[in-house]
């Protein structure tokens, strides 16, 4: 009887831990190993990085004066042009090659997205440091 109870408890514990883990794994398009899932994943992660940067930019725009705002907007425009150009080169591992396999288009687009995500996160970190300096929380990183 005690063995049966212990076995039932062990099964419930394993099932309770495994079921949520399996559900999470299926929900993440990054883990499906297919090109379209990887592309969706890269799009989602890029969108999240852009949302975070938009929040930082909104806060920074409130913290600076009109002249600085004009400069910030110009620098953001130039940064975006740079990021798009850079990732068109660095994020495209198969330039000028025909689509010899079905997933290649996904890999090119996903590589571009991950490149842009990385640059967006770097830009956001720089903007966040600038915001921290403008709101009085900065230190030696403000110079």
Q: What is the pLDDT along the chain (143 residues), one digit of tens a residue?
A: 555 544 444 444 444 444 444 444 455 556 666 667 788 889 999 999 999 999 999 999 999 999 999 999 999 999 999 999 999 888 776 666 554 455 566 777 888 999 999 999 999 999 999 999 888 765 666 76
What pTM did the predictor assign?
0.70
Q: What whole-number distance in Å separates Cα of residue 91 and Cα of residue 85?
A: 10
Q: What whole-number distance in Å separates Cα of residue 43 and Cα of residue 37?
A: 10
* CB 112 within 8 Å of CB 92: yes
Q: What whole-number distance in Å separates Cα of residue 117 and Cα of residue 46?
A: 5
């Amino acid at each position: 009887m005690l063995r049966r109870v212990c076995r039932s408890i062990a099964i419930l514990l394993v099932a309770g831990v495994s079921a949520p883990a399996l559900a999470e794994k299926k929900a993440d398009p990054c883990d499906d190993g297919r090109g379209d899932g990887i592309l969706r994943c890269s799009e989602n992660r890029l969108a999240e990085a852009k949302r975070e940067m938009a929040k930082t930019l909104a806060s920074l725009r409130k913290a600076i004066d009109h002249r600085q705002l004009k400069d910030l907007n110009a620098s953001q425009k130039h940064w975006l042009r740079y990021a798009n150009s850079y990732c068109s080169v660095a994020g495209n591992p198969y330039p000028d090659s025909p689509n010899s396999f079905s997933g290649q288009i996904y890999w090119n687009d996903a590589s571009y997205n991950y490149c842009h995500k990385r640059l967006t996160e770097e830009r956001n970190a720089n903007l966040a440091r600038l915001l921290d300096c403008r709101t009085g929380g900065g230190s030696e990183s403000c110079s």
